[in-house]
Chains A and B, each alone.
Chain A
Amino acid sequence: MTHQSAGAAPARRRLTDVLFPKLSGTVLAAIFIATLLFGFLILPVAKVIYVAFVDPQTGGLTLQNFGDFFSSALFRESFFNSFYVSAMSVVLASVFALPLAYITSRFEFSGSMLIQSLGFIPLIMPPFVGAIAMQLLFGRNGTFNLLLANMGINIPFMEGLNGVILVQSVHYFPFILINLSASLRNIDRSMEESAQNLGAHGLRLFRRVVFPLAAPGYLAGASLVFIKVFDDLGTPLLLNVNNMLAPQAYLRISSIGISDPMGYVISFILVAFSVFSLWASFLLMRGKDYATTQKGGGGLSRRKLSTKENIAAYSIVVLILLLVLSPHIALALLAFGTIWSYSPLPDGYTLENFSTMFSQSGVYIKNTLVYAGLAALIDVILATAIAYIVLRTKIIGRQWLDYMATAALAVPGVVLGIGYLRTFNDLEVPLVGKPLASWWVIIMVALTIRRLPYALRACTAALQQVSISLEEAAESLGATRSSTIRRIVVPLMSGGILAGFVTSFATAAVELSATIMLVSTDQDAPLAYGIYLFMQSPSGRGAGAALGIFAVIIVAAGTLLAQYIIDRDRKKRTGER
């Protein structure tokens, strides 16, 4: 039947094809996603960068703003402080991570499980939540200094920049731990043994062979820590350290207004540093995939520890773990304590903070569930579509969808917030009667854009595991492309999609740096902002801590759930084979 019509009027058909190209569903989806990403990521960030180079009086392009920035002593100091805090956080985080990584991956150490499970807990608490709690433990009148005061010693753990460095390195050191452990574990035993065979041992062996092989992993973790600390707004703000870049940007915009160019100059610097360090770590990593475990290799070399070494290893590990878990301990004390002031521990214990918290912050919790839930849902829909378009279609420029979505990683929350304020302030939303920039939906959009890279990684990985022949089998049995996606691809990706949803949800629920810029009324505020408000007054701290505990539980449950889903999925997959 078909061959009769196949030859008919091909020229005419070609003409209509050119005039009205039949766009397939995937092309339409690609165009839609590209538009979204352009409107809510590229445009606002470009606007911020552009404004940084515009003379506010004349409207012409200028470098004057940067001149003003560097001629201000406060900004120069802020710039230096941000740099100093980031660098010192990397150093301190390395001090925590190096021994843990080395002990767990190179020795037969029974405490390895302890490190593997407890070592990652700091990541599941938003750093600013721990900041106040840390002050109660390590501050001038905190537990430690009160105890040390008897000996006439006072250690300024939490004074000014020290506090930021301590809180940040405690929070972010798992990034170094994860990456460094992975690359240490990837060093095949024969790498070390061949060096020993040729006469190297001890420190020389470590310096000439082990460390160079693990260095890419360490650098990846360290650059991540550097950039996260450099961009972070919540922690310095809560510790009342304002002479850093991110808080300065926030304060300029929130107190002077969105026309002040300094906020944009700072934003430009933040973005430039993010991009630069991501690029630098990419350059350093390129061609250095040193995974050396290979066929015929001996696997890992783990040395046995003597009793004395074992005790030493345990002491180091327990000490570090106590320190990095101290924010959680202090937060729990604060949440369950009555009054905790000028004393090593709270005066008494109560559940009252939780009832206060629930009676006052119902709206925050509701908002968080709505924002993070919607954001995560949209994220996985977008991520599934992007993954499919990139991996399964031949649409020209499809890689750019991936690049654009991933670029959100390099955009600090403050910058995105400022960009939204600047771009959408004049955009009145019909029927709602206020500008898009102060409508609650914009908070949800910001969360969506910020968490999209996480969901995208999860969905891409899931789709990569679906063999293309499964789709071809469906198509050969007569299924159209859309019904193949609906009946074959998405069900097989469901584990990855669910994991992406949970990760996006859990991290969006405690996001502060972009939302703090965009919250226009307390009624629209999410949980993280609520904690920030509570923590402003000493009387609200208990309830704030209770809310913090709530946040930790959300993130922890989300992380566990995501892990569980991924594991179950993997088991199912391998079980089927």
Chain B
Amino acid sequence: MTLSQKSTAISIQDVHLSFGSTKVLTGVNLEIKAGEFFAFLGPSGSGKSTLLRAIAGFGPRPRGKILVGDRDLAGLPPWERNVGMVFQSYALWPHMTVRKNVAFGLVEKKAPQKEINEKVEAALSLVGLLDYAERMPSQLSGGQQQRVALARTIVVEPDVLLLDEPLSNLDASLRVQMRRELLALQRKLGLTTIFVTHDQEEANTTADRMAVLDQGVVQQVGTPQMLYDHPENLFVANFLGTANILEGNMVKGPEGSSIILKTGEQIAIDSSILGQGNLVLRPQNIMVRPENANTALRGKISHREFLGGQVRYLIDVADTQMVVDQSHSIDQPVMEIGAEVALDINRNSGVFLPQKEVTDAA
């Protein structure tokens, strides 16, 4: 017997939630498509786990609607939701064997014994642990426990799958392997999956789309690449990778738009929006040139980190310090600390965020 495949969309509509007087989620709206692998990404305390738990029916009851397919989950207790959740700690019951752990949900559904046996075997072989069925959870490694927790959840054929920081309890090397396995399993089952993480690399490598949360508010939704290249606010820009933020005034000139920094330097940058704001520059989008090049920005290397594939320079520019990454190859010399350099920026490699956008989010 194989586990049935189904894909159900999730719609989160204007969800608010507070613990006592502390607001944890404010006006969350998200449309997660059927079969999508979706990530909630944010720092700790951003409300991402709270939102996931609210979908599963744990924690205080939120205001707003949570629809799975066309079913509103509001007010339903956790055991009537058919929403599968894998806990960060795996939460395997130590007094039951792997088989009994996996069979638990089917026993609760009063499935016939024959069906239970078949489905448990199917789920265990799906995660490659059929040979471990009679072991106790304490006899398994972290990665194996994680697989059992997954099998235990998918065996009941839930409408959606929720993963709470699924990789955080694993070793770094295992994490990479496990996230590929997770993704492969999700693709195979076609199960709509939400995955909570504070690790942008995890989200970037696995998620079809993701929502970045901060202070209970969804900051931006989109594909990992879109969020990285076109952040809509400073939080997203800073949270996803390293960003240089330069404050200034965007003006229109005869040769196109350019930003004038507080210290007077002028950098030519394409932008349809004008006025006060911040320019976001990724470190790898800046080129370091010898000092005599004809550019507006000049600085002095104050610190250098050799990272193998690239060299990261901290460069004192005007009244700030900029991070610049230069890719490294065997024939390219590394610049010395204390060297005077010029910075070259392509017109189209920066993102300008006008001032009001910053306050809009809060």
Q: Which residues of A contact B (CB under 8 A)?
A: 188, 190-191, 193-201, 204, 208-209, 212-213, 287-288, 290, 292, 294-298
Contact of A193 among B87, B95, B168 (CB under 8 A): B87
Q: For B58, what are the chain A residues with a Cβ–Cβ distance below 8 Å?
A: 193, 196
Does B88 make an interface contact (CB < 8 A)?
A: yes
Assembled-state Cα–Cα distance A209/B108 (Å): 12
Assembled-state Cα–Cα distance A292/B84 (Å): 21
Per-residue CB proximity of B91-105 to A under 8 Å, as 1/0? 101110000000011
Does B143 make an interface contact (CB < 8 A)?
A: no
How many whole Å from B111's CB to the nearest CB in chain A? 11
Cβ B89 vs Cβ A188 within 8 A: yes
Q: For A297, what are the chain B residues with a Cβ–Cβ distance below 8 Å?
A: 87-89, 91
Assembled-state Cα–Cα distance A188/B108 (Å): 21
Assembled-state Cα–Cα distance A120/B138 (Å): 34
Q: For B56, what are the chain A residues with a Cβ–Cβ distance below 8 Å?
A: 193, 197
How many whole Å from B196's CB to the nearest CB in chain A? 11
Per-residue CB proximity of B152-168 to A under 8 Å, as 1/0? 11001000000001001
Within 8 A of A (CB), among B161-213: 165, 168-169
Does B85 make an interface contact (CB < 8 A)?
A: yes
- Known: A292-B94, A296-B168. Is A198-B104 also a contact (CB below 8 A)? yes
Does B83 make an interface contact (CB < 8 A)?
A: yes
- Known: A193-B58, A296-B165, A296-B169. Is A198-B105 also a contact (CB below 8 A)? yes
- Known: A188-B89, A198-B152, A290-B94. Is A193-B78 also a contact (CB below 8 A)? yes
| A/B interface sample: 24 pairs, CB < 8 A | A188-B91, A193-B58, A193-B91, A194-B91, A194-B93, A194-B152, A195-B104, A196-B58, A197-B56, A197-B78, A197-B83, A198-B79, A199-B79, A199-B109, A200-B108, A201-B77, A201-B78, A287-B138, A288-B94, A295-B89, A295-B169, A296-B87, A296-B88, A297-B87
Q: For B94, what are the chain A residues with a Cβ–Cβ distance below 8 Å?
A: 213, 288, 290, 292
Q: For A194, what are the chain B residues with a Cβ–Cβ distance below 8 Å?
A: 85, 87, 91, 93, 149, 152
Q: For B105, what are the chain A residues with a Cβ–Cβ distance below 8 Å?
A: 198-199
- Of A188, A193, A194, A196, the most chain B CB neighbours within 10 A belong to A194
Cβ B89 vs Cβ A190 within 8 A: yes
Contact of A294 among B57, B89, B153 (CB under 8 A): B89
Cβ B87 vs Cβ A190 within 8 A: yes
Q: For B169, what are the chain A residues with a Cβ–Cβ distance below 8 Å?
A: 295-296
Cβ B89 vs Cβ A296 within 8 A: yes
- Of B84, B89, B165, the most chain A CB neighbours within 10 A belong to B89
Per-residue CB proximity of B53-82 to A under 8 Å, as 1/0? 000111000000000000000000111010
Assembled-state Cα–Cα distance A399/B317 (Å): 69
Within 8 A of A (CB), among B244-293: none
Assembled-state Cα–Cα distance A502/B91 (Å): 41
- What residue in chain A is nearest B108 (Cβ atoms)? A199
How many whole Å from B185's CB to the nearest CB in chain A? 18
Assembled-state Cα–Cα distance A290/B77 (Å): 27
Q: For A212, what are the chain B residues with a Cβ–Cβ distance below 8 Å?
A: 93, 95
Q: A290-B94, A298-B89 are in contact. List 18 more A-B contacts (CB 8 A).
A: A190-B88, A191-B93, A193-B56, A193-B58, A193-B85, A194-B91, A196-B78, A197-B153, A200-B108, A204-B108, A209-B93, A212-B95, A288-B94, A292-B94, A294-B89, A295-B89, A296-B165, A296-B169
Q: For A191, what are the chain B residues with a Cβ–Cβ distance below 8 Å?
A: 91, 93
Q: For A200, what are the chain B residues with a Cβ–Cβ distance below 8 Å?
A: 79, 104, 108
- Known: A194-B87, A195-B104. Is A201-B93 also a contact (CB below 8 A)? no
Assembled-state Cα–Cα distance A201/B108 (Å): 9
How many whole Å from B79's CB to the nearest CB in chain A? 5
- What residue in chain A is nearest B103 (Cβ atoms)? A198
- What residue in chain A is nearest B95 (Cβ atoms)? A212
The 4 closest A-B pairs by CB, nearest first: A198-B105, A199-B108, A296-B88, A190-B91
Specify the main secondary structure of chain B where it touches its partner: loop
Q: For A195, what are the chain B residues with a Cβ–Cβ distance below 8 Å?
A: 93, 104
Assembled-state Cα–Cα distance A201/B153 (Å): 16
Contact of A199 among B91, B149, B156 (CB under 8 A): B156
- What residue in chain B is nearest A196 (Cβ atoms)? B78
Cβ B95 vs Cβ A198 within 8 A: no
Q: For A204, what are the chain B residues with a Cβ–Cβ distance below 8 Å?
A: 108
Q: For A288, what are the chain B residues with a Cβ–Cβ distance below 8 Å?
A: 94-95
Q: For A199, what are the chain B residues with a Cβ–Cβ distance below 8 Å?
A: 79, 105, 108-109, 156
Assembled-state Cα–Cα distance A159/B57 (Å): 53
- What residue in chain A is nearest B49 (Cβ atoms)? A298
How many whole Å from A185's CB to the nearest CB in chain B? 16
Cβ A197 vs Cβ B168 within 8 A: no
Assembled-state Cα–Cα distance A440/B354 (Å): 92
How many whole Å from A240's CB to the nearest CB in chain B? 45
Q: For B89, what are the chain A residues with a Cβ–Cβ distance below 8 Å?
A: 188, 190, 294-298
- What residue in chain B is nearest A199 (Cβ atoms)? B108
- Of B108, B149, B165, the most chain A CB neighbours within 10 A belong to B108
- What residue in chain A is nearest B136 (Cβ atoms)? A287
Q: For A213, what are the chain B residues with a Cβ–Cβ distance below 8 Å?
A: 93-95
How many whole Å from B151's CB to the nearest CB in chain A? 12
Assembled-state Cα–Cα distance A290/B89 (Å): 14
How many whole Å from B214's CB to the nearest CB in chain A? 21
Q: For A287, what are the chain B residues with a Cβ–Cβ distance below 8 Å?
A: 138
Q: For B77, what are the chain A residues with a Cβ–Cβ distance below 8 Å?
A: 196, 201
Q: For B83, what are the chain A residues with a Cβ–Cβ distance below 8 Å?
A: 197
Cβ B104 vs Cβ A197 within 8 A: no
How many whole Å from B85's CB to the nearest CB in chain A? 5
Q: For B85, what are the chain A residues with a Cβ–Cβ distance below 8 Å?
A: 193-194, 197
- What residue in chain B is nearest A190 (Cβ atoms)? B91
How many whole Å from B341's CB to the nearest CB in chain A? 45
Q: For A292, what are the chain B residues with a Cβ–Cβ distance below 8 Å?
A: 91, 94
- What residue in chain A is nearest B94 (Cβ atoms)? A290
Q: For A208, what are the chain B residues with a Cβ–Cβ distance below 8 Å?
A: 104
- What residue in chain B is nearest A211 (Cβ atoms)? B95
- What residue in chain B is nearest A212 (Cβ atoms)? B95
How many whole Å from B165's CB to the nearest CB in chain A? 6
Assembled-state Cα–Cα distance A514/B261 (Å): 90
- What residue in chain B is nearest A209 (Cβ atoms)? B93
How many whole Å from A173's CB to the nearest CB in chain B? 25
Assembled-state Cα–Cα distance A209/B79 (Å): 15
- What residue in chain A is nearest B152 (Cβ atoms)? A198
Q: For B165, what are the chain A residues with a Cβ–Cβ distance below 8 Å?
A: 296
- Of B77, B83, B93, B138, the most chain A CB neighbours within 10 A belong to B93
Assembled-state Cα–Cα distance A295/B168 (Å): 10
How many whole Å from B152's CB to the nearest CB in chain A? 7
- What residue in chain B is nearest A191 (Cβ atoms)? B91
Assembled-state Cα–Cα distance A212/B104 (Å): 14
- What residue in chain B is nearest A204 (Cβ atoms)? B108
Assembled-state Cα–Cα distance A188/B89 (Å): 9
- What residue in chain B is nearest A202 (Cβ atoms)? B79
- Of A193, A198, A213, A296, the most chain B CB neighbours within 10 A belong to A198
Q: For A188, what are the chain B residues with a Cβ–Cβ distance below 8 Å?
A: 89, 91
Q: For A193, what are the chain B residues with a Cβ–Cβ distance below 8 Å?
A: 56, 58, 78, 85, 87, 91
Q: For A198, what are the chain B residues with a Cβ–Cβ distance below 8 Å?
A: 79, 84, 104-105, 108, 152-153, 156
- What residue in chain B is nearest A215 (Cβ atoms)? B95
How many whole Å from B170's CB to the nearest CB in chain A? 11
Assembled-state Cα–Cα distance A190/B152 (Å): 14
- What residue in chain A is nearest B81 (Cβ atoms)? A197
- What residue in chain A is nearest B78 (Cβ atoms)? A196
Assembled-state Cα–Cα distance A149/B7 (Å): 72
- Of B57, B84, B91, the most chain A CB neighbours within 10 A belong to B91
Q: For B149, what are the chain A residues with a Cβ–Cβ distance below 8 Å?
A: 194
Within 8 A of A (CB), among B317-348: none
Q: For B95, what are the chain A residues with a Cβ–Cβ distance below 8 Å?
A: 212-213, 288, 290
How many whole Å from A292's CB to the nearest CB in chain B? 6
Assembled-state Cα–Cα distance A288/B168 (Å): 26
Q: For A196, what are the chain B residues with a Cβ–Cβ distance below 8 Å?
A: 57-58, 77-79
Cβ A201 vs Cβ B79 within 8 A: yes
- What residue in chain A is nearest B138 (Cβ atoms)? A287
